[in-house]
């Protein structure tokens, strides 16, 4: 019993903790909260109705002073810009005007640097940005934002991309799933029909690509699909196309490559289900007078439907989170949630948003899985085959 | 035969299914059939027919310090994470196999998580943690990360082997005076060895094929083969990458064949 403890600890610390840590990060706001600690305290009882008192202005000035001394004005500005564009410029402008004239009140001094400091909306944004937790990222991933006054509104049109990318992710995954089912079905049917010898031979043709690393298969599709690639050269050689078709960095390319990568996950469960259908059932149905089509629809398909369901769900769920293939084969307008997560992790360094997007991906996966199993019946994944 | 019963009456449908199956299998195998010959192409073009064959890209691969380093890194990381996940996973499977384990279903759900959570989410969350505790940009970090993802497979395969293991054998050993340690090495271990080896192979492949985790938590000095391939693919695809791809493929396919052999042997034994 104690033998499982090391792994229990390893998984808790090495896996569950980072996941929890990441989910917490989607609402974490500790950087601006820490840098605006005095202002945050001074604004604690502020009701947001009218401009805060002199105390808040003094607190802000000393926070900004410290931030500048620590070289963190840009960092603070970056975070405040997430809430309101232009805030970073305002901070930089303000800090440049330091030291402020000590003979005047902090309020008048800041107001003379920029009149926006006398605008109540600036303070409403600042007050929210100085809290230890924020809803900003969670709202952003569903294309919403909080207005300075506290109301929820849609993001400006140019940033309203997240739900569209979520829809695209679901659509592409569903399309891949349907393609896999259509292509996989006849393969499974033939595998379940032919002699053992032939089957082993055909199975090798399914398993070899399945065992090939995904990155290698994606590389092969890049070689095949690119403008000077094998397919385009062939098409042009036989005069089937005059100019190279845009296969790479296109939706077509993503669908082809993802279908190829995920197809074995569909074939194997359907084949397993087909193998377990006793031939007598079919014979019985036929001898009782049902014609083959009726038998197919009323007897055979219901018997193999668990296999189709398992395969489809597996392909769909795997496709939802797929990263490598769409990232390498797709164009900018084919990218899915997974790409956006990596983009905000490695490029914009907006980790809060990357975390919120991961949460969105996990929640959508969970909801879709739940709805589909409720609607279609239970699903069993065989993980050994599902790698 | 079912196919004959259902579709035998219409020749068109019958042969249609065979044709569809043939096309699908061609689609599946096509990429492999394309990159293997192209990696031996004398010219740096991706076209057929190939005028002359050569080993030039394999030589380029062997002479490149970068690819050399990547290969060494890949092997170190794969062996390290295999060792770590095999030890932890085997111990856990042994613990879980005894009845009366508390929170068993919770534990099993928790173990399945790395298999269902998309790898990008896992990679990003590991990156956030590792960058805080200084494990990014180190082979140790990569080993631990790969072990985290690989360990469920070990638990599953060793658990599978233990499901058919007869624990009365251990009791017999105990009653004859063997210490638990000796019982394990003389009785349990040899009998569940196929399960352990399968788990090891799974773990090795998981690490050896991974690119997404390496993308986030390694820097250039720790790049593995797939990571090195990725950066080449991002710039321009030159045939050296194909040569590396072929070598990577040969390695994983031979390991998978080994796995298949173990599976079959077990079936015969049972």
Residues of chain B in contact with residue A324, where contact means CB-CB under 8 angstroms, are 211-212
pLDDT of amino acid B230: 92
pLDDT of amino acid A170: 96
List A residues 216-235 in contact with B (Cβ-Cβ < 8 A). 216-224, 226, 228-230, 233-234
pLDDT of amino acid B226: 93
Q: Do A358 and B2 touch (CB under 8 A)?
A: no
Q: Do B121 and A17 touch (CB under 8 A)?
A: no
pLDDT of amino acid A324: 92
pLDDT of amino acid B27: 94
Pick the more confident residue, B14 or A365: A365
| Digit-coded pLDDT (tens) for A162-209 | 999 999 999 999 999 999 999 999 999 999 888 889 998 999 899 999
Q: Do A383 and B153 touch (CB under 8 A)?
A: yes
Partnered with residue A146 across adjacent β-strands are A152
Interatomic CA distance for residues B69 and A192, integer angstroms: 46
| Residue B101 pLDDT class (50, 70, 90 cuts) | low
Q: Which residue of A has its CA nearest to B16?
A: A186
CA distance A209 to chain B (A): 6
Nearest to A8 among B21, B107, B128 (CB): B107
DSSP code at position A28: B
DSSP-based helix, strand, coil % in chain A, nearest 5: 70, 0, 25
CA distance B176 to chain A (A): 23
DSSP annotation string for A61-124: HHHHHHHHHTT-HHHHHHHHHHHSTTHHHHHHHHHHTPSP-TTS-HHHHHHHH-GGGG-HHHHH
Q: Which residue of B has its CA nearest to A195?
A: B1
The residues, any chain, with a CB within 8 Å of residue A108's CB and separated by 6 or more, are none
| Digit-coded pLDDT (tens) for B151-183 | 988 988 898 888 888 888 888 988 998 888 888
| Residue B270 pLDDT class (50, 70, 90 cuts) | very low
Statement: residue B107 has pLDDT above 80 = no
Q: Do B118 and A361 touch (CB under 8 A)?
A: yes
ipTM score of complex: 0.89
Statement: residue B41 has pLDDT above 90 = no
Statement: residue B141 has pLDDT above 60 = yes
pLDDT of amino acid A352: 92
Residue stretches of chain A with pLDDT short of 70:
1, 381-387
Nearest to B129 among A8, A21, A215 (CB): A21
> Distance from CA of residue A356 to its chain's centroid?
9
List A residues 239-298 in contact with B (Cβ-Cβ < 8 A). 260, 263-264, 274, 277, 279, 282-283, 286, 292, 295-296
Largest separation between any pair of C-alpha atoms in chain B: 72
| Residue B199 pLDDT class (50, 70, 90 cuts) | very high
Interatomic CA distance for residues B242 and B35, integer angstroms: 6
| Residue B149 pLDDT class (50, 70, 90 cuts) | very high
Q: Which residue of B has its CA nearest to A324?
A: B212
List A residues 29-48 in contact with B (Cβ-Cβ < 8 A). none
Whole-Å CA distances, B125 to A11, B132, B211: 13, 11, 15
Interatomic CA distance for residues A207 and B25, integer angstroms: 10
Q: Do B29 and A18 touch (CB under 8 A)?
A: no
Residue to mutate among B86, B124, B131, B189, with most A CBs inside 10 A, is B124
Q: Which residue of A has its CA nearest to B18?
A: A190
Interatomic CA distance for residues B94 and B87, integer angstroms: 11
Q: Which residue of A has its CA nearest to B38?
A: A223
Partnered with residue B41 across adjacent β-strands are B53
pLDDT of amino acid A174: 96
List A residues 294-313 in contact with B (Cβ-Cβ < 8 A). 295-296, 300
A264 closest CA partner among A315, A310, A301: A315
CA distance A155 to chain B (A): 25
Q: Do B124 and A8 touch (CB under 8 A)?
A: no
Q: In this structure, is the dihedral angle defined by the CA atoms of residues B216, B218, B223 and B224, taken in order, positive or negative?
A: negative
Q: Which residue of B has its CA nearest to A314?
A: B116
Pick the more confident residue, B47 or A21: A21
Statement: residue B56 has pLDDT above 90 = no
Task: Tell me whether A346 touches chain B (CB under 8 Å).
Answer: yes
Instruction: Report yes or no: A260 and A229 within 8 Å, Cβ to Cβ.
Output: no
């Amino acid at each position: 019993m104690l033998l499982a403890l090391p792994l229990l600890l390893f998984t808790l610390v090495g896996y569950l903790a980072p996941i929890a840590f990441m989910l917490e990060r989607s609402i974490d706001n500790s950087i601006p909260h820490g840098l605006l600690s005095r202002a945050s305290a001074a604004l604690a009882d502020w009701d947001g109705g009218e401009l805060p008192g002199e105390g808040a202005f003094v607190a802000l000035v000393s926070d900004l002073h410290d931030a500048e001394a620590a070289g963190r004005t840009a960092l603070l500005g970056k975070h405040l810009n997430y809430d309101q564009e232009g805030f970073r410029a305002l901070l930089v402008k303000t800090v440049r005007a330091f030291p402020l004239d000590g003979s005047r009140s902090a309020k008048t001094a800041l107001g003379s640097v920029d009149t926006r400091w006398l605008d109540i909306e600036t303070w409403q944004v600042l007050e929210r940005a100085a809290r230890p937790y924020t809803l900003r990222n969670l709202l952003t991933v569903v294309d919403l934002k909080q207005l300075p006054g506290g109301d929820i509104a849609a993001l400006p049109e140019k940033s309203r991309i997240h739900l569209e990318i979520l829809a695209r992710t679901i659509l592409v995954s569903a399309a891949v799933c349907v393609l896999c089912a259509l292509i996989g079905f006849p393969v499974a049917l033939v595998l379940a029909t032919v002699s053992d010898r032939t089957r082993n031979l055909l199975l090798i043709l399914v398993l070899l690509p399945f065992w090939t690393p995904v990155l290698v298969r994606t590389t092969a599709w890049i070689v095949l699909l690119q403008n000077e690639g094998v397919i385009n050269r062939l098409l042009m050689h036989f005069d089937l196309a005059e100019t190279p078709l845009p296969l790479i960095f296109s939706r077509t390319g993503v669908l082809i490559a993802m279908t190829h990568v995920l197809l074995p996950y569909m074939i194997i469960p359907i084949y397993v289900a087909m193998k377990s259908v006793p031939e007598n059932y079919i014979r019985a149905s036929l001898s009782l007078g049902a014609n083959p089509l009726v038998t197919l629809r009323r007897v055979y398909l219901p018997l193999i439907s668990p296999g189709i369901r398992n395969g489809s769900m597996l392909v769909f769920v795997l496709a939802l989170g797929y990263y490598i293939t769409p990232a390498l084969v797709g164009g900018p307008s084919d990218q899915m949630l997974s790409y956006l997560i990596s983009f905000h992790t490695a490029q914009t360094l907006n980790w809060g948003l990357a975390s919120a997007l991961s949460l969105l991906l996990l929640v959508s996966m969970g909801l879709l899985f739940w709805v589909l199993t409720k609607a279609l019946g239970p699903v069993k994944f065989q993980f050994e085959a599902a790698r | 035969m079912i196919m004959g019963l259902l579709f035998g009456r219409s020749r068109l449908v019958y042969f249609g299914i065979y044709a569809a199956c043939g096309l699908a299998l061609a689609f599946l195998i096509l990429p492999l059939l394309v990159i293997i010959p192209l990696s031996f192409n004398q010219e740096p073009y991706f076209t057929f027919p190939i005028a002359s064959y050569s080993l030039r890209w394999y030589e380029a691969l062997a002479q490149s310090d970068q690819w050399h380093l990547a290969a060494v890194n890949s092997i170190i990381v794969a062996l390290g994470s295999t060792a770590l996940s095999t030890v932890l996973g085997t111990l856990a499977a042994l613990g879980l196999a005894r009845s009366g384990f508390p929170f068993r279903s919770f534990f099993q759900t928790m173990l399945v998580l790395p298999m269902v959570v998309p790898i990008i989410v896992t990679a990003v969350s590991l990156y956030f943690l590792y960058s805080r505790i200084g494990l990014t940009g180190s082979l140790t970090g990569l080993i631990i990360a790969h072990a985290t993802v690989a360990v469920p497979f070990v638990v599953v395969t060793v658990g599978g082997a233990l499901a058919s293991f007869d624990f009365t054998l251990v009791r017999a050993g105990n009653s004859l005076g063997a210490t638990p340690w000796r019982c394990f090495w003389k009785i349990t271990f040899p009998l569940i060895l196929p399960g352990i080896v399968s788990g090891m192979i799974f773990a090795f492949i998981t690490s050896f094929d991974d690119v997404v985790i390496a993308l986030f938590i390694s820097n250039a000095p720790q790049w593995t083969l797939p990571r090195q391939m990725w950066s080449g693919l991002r710039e321009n695809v030159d045939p050296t990458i194909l040569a590396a791809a072929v070598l990577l493929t040969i390695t994983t396919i031979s390991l998978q064949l080994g796995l298949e052999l173990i599976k079959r042997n077990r079936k015969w034994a049972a």
